[in-house]
Structure 1
């Protein structure tokens, strides 16, 4: 087991807060999940969302690349579409 620290809870606005010692190495601005389990308070670091890449600045960086023309694809009609058309043609 690691090093044990003692801390106190305190009132912060309408909430109760617990200050974490710097020796724990907890980085600031991280979200946590707190839960009571059999009378113990357990903290779990919330999984951080994957970072997204902003590609808006890439436009025009490779002018020699040309976009591909759209691919033309033909699809068969759905059976429900065929049945509806045949029903309309037969006048039912």
Structure 2
């Protein structure tokens, strides 16, 4: 779980507003998505960038895996019976 912050609700015109701490790293004007789930409020950036997975540290985790050679990439084409059975031309 991440750090915990306190935020203050205040009146802004005829609405209520939530003042978020600067430590959250949000920028002024950022659009937020708010939803209520089982009595809890969840705030998310509306245009949050998709997270990317860093796989750079996976090398060496499976030393038995080797890159495919161009010869290994060649495969034999086969026709399929779309009712779930393989067509066997030799039978």
Q: Choose 1 or 2 for highest CA Rg.
A: 1
More helix by share: 1
TM-score (norm 2): 0.48
TM-score (norm 1): 0.48
